[in-house]
Structure formats: structure tokens, C-alpha cells
């Protein structure tokens, strides 16, 4: 760990009238950092970070030192994402490029736990997503469905085995208070009590579903041949899922209760909005009891064949997404170097139609990369792509991490002009992840 102001950190004096703050540098990873998130783990304010070696580190932000280190995934897959489970202070979710999502019980759980000891194997549960690319999972805290007495547990959305699909799963429910009754911190007992996540829906456009089915048939065809698709089918396909995010669905400014809304960004530049109105009766959990439970928890059970809304927002791959905490809008970033702000207006559903209007407010960028003279093959520092975006919980600003190593801040409010407020240039390589600390 060190605290210094290198010569590469340039202030935003010409934009904001004040110099950039000195960065606090946390040193401890042996590979590229791929994920950061703020969390309160066992009562200790932390930053959770995951790296390309598969390690997840919990940093004590007050001591500015590692609280614990967890080898969550193998070095060959890396730790793609890590965050605290919704509504918990003792469950950490991690994801690797090995096709798995894991839930770890911290060693600080329980009355006699040690918050500085790393979580112990095995994980409380493991979800095999079948996804091996760079799409990070997203979570939503469990709450009641609008207009119904039933509740749904905390949800996780992750890219599915079919590259263009988004799988939505309900996570097992276990209160942190239960850990007080299990002070032995038996990881094996915790695993047997929690069970595994259950898939509620697989969101995939009809054209992508047909293409995946045709590809599967082609693979099984021993006679060989090429896979053909019409031009209209190609235009309708969304392609590989690059990013997912839950969008709080609001009515009257209250982000609670209605059916689930999910955002997805795709490789061909499209951003789309899905509303979870039913679950697929395929795969595991397709028994009568499960279908009955889904009907009770999800107001309508239509098949999700098309997104509620979609637009081609980027000229290249849409690489990242971030929704605001009140469900009023979201931001997408792309390989074309643009950040696009969207405003969402929710209304009442009309039969089969979901009451939502999405408006594109402004496109930010692309910006000239910081290192225009870097011409090495495959060096993204010479490119202006966006790797990550985040919206602060007060809905005033958002941040974007760029391939050239800069983190740029912009105004976010719907009525704002969307000015660029600052540009921080500490990192020598791509800024792969950004996150805001809670303001309250």
C-alpha cells in the first residue's frame, strides 16, 4: 500500500477549478484487477477486489490493508467479479471464467467469528452457469412482487450457456442471524443447509434461440455442411451477452414491488430491456411443484421471446451497463468509446404490454485516448473503448473506466447538460472496473 501523487495524475483544474485528489493506492494483487465493489463485511467497511489469478481480497478501507485473501477461483479462470450478497454482511459472491458463481460464508460470521480470517472452503453453494466469457453477474435483493402476497428471494442474473441468453436464478435464502447459532463455522454444514440457486427464467430472443438450436443440430449432423441464416434473422439476433444489470422498476418514484426489469448489453452494440413476466419450464426445476411456485410468485407466465425494449446504441460491442438506484435511468458503454445515457419512465401495464418508455438522453464521447502514440499490436491503450461504468447512488454523477487507463466523470441527472467533470489518469493500462462508495 502506498499513498502518492505520481506525475501521471493530472487534475481537472481546467474543468472543475480544483486539482484532482491524490489517489490512495492499494497494493496486493499479483495480476490485473478485474472487479471492485464496496461492502461492509462482518461490520468492517471494505473494498472487495478480484484479480486475474483468481484471488479475491477484502481491503479494510480504514486501515487501508487487506482484511483477508481468498483463492476463490483457479489462476486459469481468474476472479471476474466479487460482491457482497444482497441483504447480507457475511456472504460473498464470486465469479470466475470457469463457468461458476460461488457463494462464500465469511469466517467472521457468528458470535465467535474472526473477521480477519478468510472464508473457508467449500463454498456455501456453487452455480454452474456454463458461461466462460467476460460478462459479470448482477444481483437484486429479494422483495415482494407488486400486487401479490408472495415474495421472491434475492436474484442473480448471469450469462447463460447459450451465449446470447441471460439466466435469472433465485438464490437460496439464509439470514445472517442463522450464523449465530452455528458458531463452529462448519462450511460443509452450511452447504447442506443452503441448497443451490434455482433458475426462474432464461431470457433469449427468438432469433437467437433459433440460431442456437440450428447450431446444435449442425454440430450433431455427421454429414457436415455450413449453418445458414436469413438476413432478417441475422438482423434480429442480439449476439453474445457482454453485460447485465437489474433496473429497479418504479412507480411514483418508489423503487419497490413491481415485476423484475433486467438490462442486457450485447456484442453487436444493442442494449435491451427485459421484464421478467414468467419462467421457462425447461431444464432443472421443471416439475409441477416448481411451476406452481413460479405462478404464485410471478404475476404472468408468458414465455420471454423478445425484449420489452431494444436499441442499437453503439457502433461496436456494448461492453458495460450501470442502472441508477431509483430505476430512473441507466448508462451503457461500448468499444466505440461512447457512453450513452438513457431515461426510463414507468407507467401502468396494459394487458400484455409493459408500461415503460426509454429515451436516449445523450451520447458522451468518444474521446481521444490518452496514449495516441501507442501502436503496439493488441494494445488497447491506443483505443478509446469503455470497460466499465457506475452511477453514484445520489444520481448526480457517473464514472466510466476507459481502455486508455483514464477514469472520466460526467453529470448524470436527466435535466443536466451531461458535462464531463473530471478525468483521472493514474493507471498505465485499461481501467477495467469502477465503483462508488455509498453516499449514505
Q: Give the chain's domains with CATH numbers.
A: 83-424 (2.130.10)
Cell of 54: 483468481
Contact at 8 Å (CB) between 363 and 339? yes
Cell of 125: 453453494
More confident residue, 188 or 125: 125
Residues 6+ apart with CB under 8 A from 233: 207, 210, 211
- Residue range 401-419: mean pLDDT, rounded: 88
Contact at 8 Å (CB) between 9 and 427? no
Strand partners, 68: 58
Strand partners, 338: none
DSSP H or E segment with residue 166: strand 166-170
Separation CA 51–CA 72 (nearest Å): 10
Contact at 8 Å (CB) between 222 and 244? no
pLDDT of residue 366: 81
Q: Position of cell 493514474?
A: 426
Cell of 220: 450433431
How high does pLDDT run on average in the chain? 78
Residues 6+ apart with CB under 8 A from 254: none
Separation CA 214–CA 162 (nearest Å): 12
- DSSP string of 338-355? -EEEEEEEE---BTTB--
Contact at 8 Å (CB) between 137 and 69? no
- Residue of 82, 19, 93 whose CA lies nearest to 53: 82
Residue 368 backbone dihedrals phi, psi, to 5 degrees: -65, 130
Percent of residues, the chain, with pLDDT higher than 70: 67
Chain centroid to Cα 102, Å, comes to 15
Q: Is the pTM of this model over 0.85?
A: no
Residue 437 has pLDDT above 80, yes or no: yes
pLDDT tens per residue, range 208-255: 677 666 666 565 555 555 555 554 455 567 789 999 999 987 654 445
- DSSP string of 312-341? E--SS-EEEEEE-TTSSEEEEEETTS-EEE
- Residue range 357-372: mean pLDDT, rounded: 78
More confident residue, 88 or 51: 51
DSSP 254: B
Label residue 138 by pLDDT band (50, 70, 90): very high
- Residue of 284, 279, 391 whose CA lies nearest to 327: 391
Q: Which of 41-50, 161-170, 215-224 has the lowest mean pLDDT?
A: 215-224
Separation CA 76–CA 26 (nearest Å): 24
Q: Which of 55-59, 77-81, 240-244, 259-263 has the lowest mean pLDDT?
A: 259-263
Contact at 8 Å (CB) between 156 and 169? yes
Amino acid at each position: 500500500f502506498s499513498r502518492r501523487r505520481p506525475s501521471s495524475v493530472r487534475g481537472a483544474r481546467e474543468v472543475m477549478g480544483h486539482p484532482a485528489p491524490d489517489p490512495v493506492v492499494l497494493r496486493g494483487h499479483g495480476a490485473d484487477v478485474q472487479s471492485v465493489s464496496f461492502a461492509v463485511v462482518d461490520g468492517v467497511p471494505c473494498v472487495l477486489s478480484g484479480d486475474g489469478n483468481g484471488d479475491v481480497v477484502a481491503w479494510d478501507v480504514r486501515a487501508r490493508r487487506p482484511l483477508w485473501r481468498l483463492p476463490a477461483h483457479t489462476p486459469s479462470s481468474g476472479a471476474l467479479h466479487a460482491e457482497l450478497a444482497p441483504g447480507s454482511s457475511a456472504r460473498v459472491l464470486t465469479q470466475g471464467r470457469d463457468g461458476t458463481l460461488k457463494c462464500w460464508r465469511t469466517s467472521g460470521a457468528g458470535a465467535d467469528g474472526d473477521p480477519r480470517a478468510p472464508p473457508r472452503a467449500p463454498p456455501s453453494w456453487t452455480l454452474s452457469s456454463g458461461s466462460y466469457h467476460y460478462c459479470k453477474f448482477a444481483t437484486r435483493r429479494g422483495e415482494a412482487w407488486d400486487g401479490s402476497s408472495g415474495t421472491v428471494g434475492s436474484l442473480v442474473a448471469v450469462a447463460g450457456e447459450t451465449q446470447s441468453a441471460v439466466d435469472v436464478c433465485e438464490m437460496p435464502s439464509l439470514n445472517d442471524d442463522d450464523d449465530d447459532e452455528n458458531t463452529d463455522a462448519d462450511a460443509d454444514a452450511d452447504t447442506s443447509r443452503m441448497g443451490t440457486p434455482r433458475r426462474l427464467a432464461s431470457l433469449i430472443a427468438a432469433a437467437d434461440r433459433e440460431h442456437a438450436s440450428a447450431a446444435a443440430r449442425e454440430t450433431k449432423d455427421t454429414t457436415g455442411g455450413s449453418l445458414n441464416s436469413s438476413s432478417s434473422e441475422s438482423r434480429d439476433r442480439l449476439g453474445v451477452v457482454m453485460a447485465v444489470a437489474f433496473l429497479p422498476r418504479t412507480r411514483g418514484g418508489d423503487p419497490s414491488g413491481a415485476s423484475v426489469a433486467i438490462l442486457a448489453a450485447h456484442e453487436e452494440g444493442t442494449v435491451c430491456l427485459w421484464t421478467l413476466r414468467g419462467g421457462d419450464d425447461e431444464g432443472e426445476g421443471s416439475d409441477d411443484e416448481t411451476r406452481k411456485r413460479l405462478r404464485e410468485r410471478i404475476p404472468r407466465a408468458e414465455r420471454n421471446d423478445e425484449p420489452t425494449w431494444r436499441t442499437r446504441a453503439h457502433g461496436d460491442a456494448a461492453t458495460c451497463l450501470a442502472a441508477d438506484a431509483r430505476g430512473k435511468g441507466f448508462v451503457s458503454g461500448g468499444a466505440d468509446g461512447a457512453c450513452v445515457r438513457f431515461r426510463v419512465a414507468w407507467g401502468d401495464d396494459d394487458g400484455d404490454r409493459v408500461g415503460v418508455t426509454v429515451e436516449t438522453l445523450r451520447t458522451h464521447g468518444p474521446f481521444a485516448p490518452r496514449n495516441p502514440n501507442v501502436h503496439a499490436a493488441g494494445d488497447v491503450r491506443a483505443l478509446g473503448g469503455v470497460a466499465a461504468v457506475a452511477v453514484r447512488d445520489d444520481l448526480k454523477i457517473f464514472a466510466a473506466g476507459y481502455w486508455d487507463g483514464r477514469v472520466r466523470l460526467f453529470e448524470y441527472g436527466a435535466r443536466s447538460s451531461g458535462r464531463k467533470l473530471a478525468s483521472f489518469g493514474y493507471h498505465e493500462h485499461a481501467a477495467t472496473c469502477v465503483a462508488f462508495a455509498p453516499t449514505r
